Structure 1
Amino acid sequence: MHAALVTSFDRPPRWTEVPDPEPGPGEVLVHVLAAGLHPRVRSGAAGTHYTSDGVLPLVPGFDGVGRTEDGRRVFFAGLEAPRGSMADLVAVPADDLVDLPEGLDDVTVAAVMNPAMSAWLALRHRAGLRPGEAVLVLGATGNAGRLAVQLARHLGAGRVVGAGRDPASLAVVRRLGADAVVPLTADDAAERLAREAADVDVVVDYVWGAPTEGALAAVTGARSDPAHLLRWVHVGATAGPTITLPAATLRKTNVQVSGSGQGSVSPVAMVSALRELAAALPQVRPQVDVVTTPLREVEAAWGATTASGTRIVLVP
């Protein structure tokens, strides 16, 4: 079969022939129809993801849409190197397959499931969002952040605030359902966060680093009731891997900081959440910009420049 193959962490994968996968016990072959090129895939192919074991070669791709030999159209995720979804075929544990409802095409599902899953896990399973609660999405201008805004609305959030570094993309975030937006690059970003998000119940944080330090100080410093629980869920670190957290913040405000990702949610719970999300997507009707690229052009796709909020999806 043909697949993308990573032979060096310093170079993009190349399209080549590799042996067909041989399913192990409990696994089935899936013919891949679409696979998203998202940050989790890039970090895995670069050997920088926290789950990477540094072993090469590997086929990149964490998830995808495919069809089983008996005709089921499925989504699958959680692939571990060296196997990946950027190939003609992949062997997947049968218990991990998620049957897809009608109403969304293969490319759209491949584009949205990974970023939407990050938001779904954070909102439902880590924060336990309840209808009527208020949500702040830090990093709302990227794929995952935009979907977090849409899913927060779907889950009944009473107020949604989107914050990000791209003012032009924030206009899109507003159209997707945010009640207010805050440009993190503005000189008065802290004042705007204090005004628009002082009393949110949940923060879904895709940025971390210095923007999180500023946002955490602004939000906790402006709360009308410091004892009201603030659930701050860290999902991504686009602005940096660390923060400085003043001890006083945890004493003067009832804030709960947790993470959401591989390891913080069990594999069984992850598959269950994927099934919940897949069933909800036809009602959510997520809006996402997609660039579809043939798998044989994976090397060029790896270096392609796309607009904020656009997802590349590789197809056979």
Structure 2
Amino acid sequence: MKAAVVTTWGEAPRHTDAAEPVAGRGEEVVEVLASAVSPRVRSQAAGSHYTSTDELPLIPGIDGVGKLANGKLIYFLLPDTNKGAMAERTAVDMRRTVPLPRGADAVKIAALMNPAMASWVALRQRITFRRGQSVLILGATGNAGRAAIQVAKRLGASQIVAVGRGADSMNDLTRLGATRVIELAGDPGEVKRNLAGAGESVDVVVDLVWGEPTRDALHAIIPNRASDEQELTWIQIGSVAGLESPIPSAALRAVNLQIIGSGQGSVPHHRYRREIGVLAKEILKGTFDDSGKAEEVALKDVETAWADTSSTKRLVIVNP
């Protein structure tokens, strides 16, 4: 079969021959219809993600939409493996799949599930989020950030502060549900004042960036809380700005701050599967609007598309 194959860490995958997948116990081989290129997939292909198996050659891709031998459609999540989703076929653990209705839009599901899943699971499983609470999203201009705005709105957030870089890409964040937008690329003093004002009574921070932006946001927000006793839950989800971030020790003592992480390993398997099933239904009924943000790319063109990092659209690798 053909697949996108990484033979050197950090280089774009090439469209080439690969061994046919073999189904193990509890698995089935599926025809892959669509699989998205997310930051998580790019870090997988670079060998830099904490789940990397350090095995080459590698077929990237952590999830997608597939067709079973009986013609039924499924959304699937793969375990940490070097035999990923960006291939004509892959083997999936049926315990890590959810059924999709006949005629479901495979590209839409592939494009939206992974970015929306991060904040959806975090707000529904890692904390007890209550309608009316306020949310600040750090890293709101990426695919996961845009999805997080809509997830917070769907779950009943009263205020949604979208923080990120790129004024052009932030113009429509209010349309998605943001009640306030803060541009990080402005004057540092003004940015700090804006973060301090927005964070003085926020309940939850969804952090998709980590690194220096998190350090700066903590320094701006913590000394300016309206009430030190009001709980502030900081959920670490992504690390596109850095794998490490210095946390001021005083922040953990001066206010009621709780820092937690959210990912597949932090939620029991059966609950995670239940959440992706609910999320798939929300996507298919049109809860999330990301019109024009997905770009279909044929598997055979993966190398060229992968190397072009200028586009803000989410690449979805498809098998025609």
Q: Give the alignment's TM-score, normalised by structure 1.
A: 0.95
Structure 1 SS opposite 2:197: helix
Kindly provide the amino acid, as one letter, of the partner of residue 66 in structure 1: G
Confirm whether residue 300 of structure 1 aligns to residue 301 of structure 2: no
Kindly provide the amino acid, as one letter, of the partner of residue 100 in structure 2: L
Query: 1:290 and 1:91, CA in 2 relative to 1: closer, same or farther beyond 3 A?
Result: same
Kindly provide the amino acid, as one letter, of the partner of residue 78 in structure 2: G
- Find the partner of 2:282 among 277, 280, 283: 280
Q: Check whether the contact 1:30–1:69 (CA below 8 A) recurs between aligned residues.
A: yes
- Find the partner of 2:264 among 262, 268, 277: 262
Kindly provide the amino acid, as one letter, of the partner of residue 255 in structure 1: L
Displacement of 1:215 after TM fit?
1.1
Displacement of 1:171 after TM fit?
1.1
Q: Check whether the contact 2:147–2:288 (CA below 8 A) recurs between aligned residues.
A: no
- Find the partner of 2:315 among 304, 312, 315: 312
1:76-113 superposed Cα distances (whole Å, 9 cap, x missing partner)? 01333221101111111112111124785111111111
Structure 1 SS opposite 2:267: coil
Identical pairs, percent: 44
Kindly provide the amino acid, as one letter, of the partner of residue 13 in structure 2: P
Distance in 2 between residues matched to 1:104 and 1:287, nearest whole Å = 16
Of residues 110-119 and 1-10 in structure 1, the stretch that sits farther from structure 2 once superposed is 1-10
Q: How does 1:135-146 map onto structure 2 within 5 Å?
A: 135-146=135-146
Q: How does 1:32-71 map onto structure 2 within 5 Å?
A: 32-71=32-71
Kindly provide the amino acid, as one letter, of the partner of residue 38 in structure 1: S
Structure 1 SS opposite 2:242: coil
Kindly provide the amino acid, as one letter, of the partner of residue 261 in structure 1: G
2:295 aligned residue: 291
Kindly provide the amino acid, as one letter, of the partner of residue 286 in structure 1: D
- Find the partner of 2:221 among 219, 222, 225: 219
Distance in 2 between residues matched to 1:103 and 1:166, nearest whole Å = 36
Displacement of 1:10 after TM fit?
3.6
Displacement of 1:119 after TM fit?
1.3
Q: How does 1:195-206 map onto structure 2 within 5 Å?
A: 195-206=197-208
Q: Unpaired segments of 5 or more residues in structure 2?
A: none
Distance in 1 between residues matched to 2:288 and 2:102, nearest whole Å = 12
1:243 aligned residue: 245
Q: Give the alignment's TM-score, normalised by structure 2.
A: 0.94
Distance in 1 between residues matched to 2:149 and 2:217, nearest whole Å = 18
How many residues get paired?
A: 315
Query: 1:102 and 1:142, CA in 2 relative to 1: closer, same or farther beyond 3 A?
Result: farther
Kindly provide the amino acid, as one letter, of the partner of residue 223 in structure 2: G
Distance in 1 between residues matched to 2:17 and 2:269, nearest whole Å = 31
Distance in 2 between residues matched to 1:283 and 1:123, nearest whole Å = 20
Distance in 1 between residues matched to 2:220 and 2:104, nearest whole Å = 40
Q: How does 1:76-87 map onto structure 2 within 5 Å?
A: 76-87=76-87
Distance in 2 between residues matched to 1:177 and 1:102, nearest whole Å = 30
1:186 aligned residue: 186
Distance in 2 between residues matched to 1:127 and 1:186, nearest whole Å = 32
Q: Check whether the contact 2:73–2:102 (CA below 8 A) recurs between aligned residues.
A: no
Displacement of 1:258 after TM fit?
0.6
Query: 1:191 and 1:287, CA in 2 relative to 1: closer, same or farther beyond 3 A?
Result: same
Displacement of 1:263 after TM fit?
2.2
Q: Check whether the contact 2:31–2:68 (CA below 8 A) recurs between aligned residues.
A: yes
Query: 1:165 and 1:98, CA in 2 relative to 1: closer, same or farther beyond 3 A?
Result: same
Of residues 61-70 and 15-24 in structure 1, the stretch that sits farther from structure 2 once superposed is 15-24
Structure 2 SS opposite 1:313: strand
Q: Check whether the contact 1:173–1:181 (CA below 8 A) recurs between aligned residues.
A: yes
Query: 1:239 and 1:155, CA in 2 relative to 1: closer, same or farther beyond 3 A?
Result: same
Kindly provide the amino acid, as one letter, of the partner of residue 165 in structure 1: R
Kindly provide the amino acid, as one letter, of the partner of residue 127 in structure 1: I
Q: Unpaired segments of 5 or more residues in structure 1?
A: none
Q: How does 1:146-161 map onto structure 2 within 5 Å?
A: 146-161=146-161
Q: Check whether the contact 2:78–2:92 (CA below 8 A) recurs between aligned residues.
A: no
Kindly provide the amino acid, as one letter, of the partner of residue 317 in structure 2: L
Query: 1:10 and 1:152, CA in 2 relative to 1: closer, same or farther beyond 3 A?
Result: closer
Please identify runs of 4+ aligned residues in structure 1 that moved more than 4 A.
101-104
Structure 2 SS opposite 1:137: strand
Kindly provide the amino acid, as one letter, of the partner of residue 178 in structure 1: A
Structure 2 SS opposite 1:263: helix
Kindly provide the amino acid, as one letter, of the partner of residue 314 in structure 2: R
Q: Check whether the contact 2:150–2:288 (CA below 8 A) recurs between aligned residues.
A: no
Displacement of 1:121 after TM fit?
1.6
2:97 aligned residue: 97
1:145-194 superposed Cα distances (whole Å, 9 cap, x missing partner)? 00000110001111101000112211121221100000112221111112
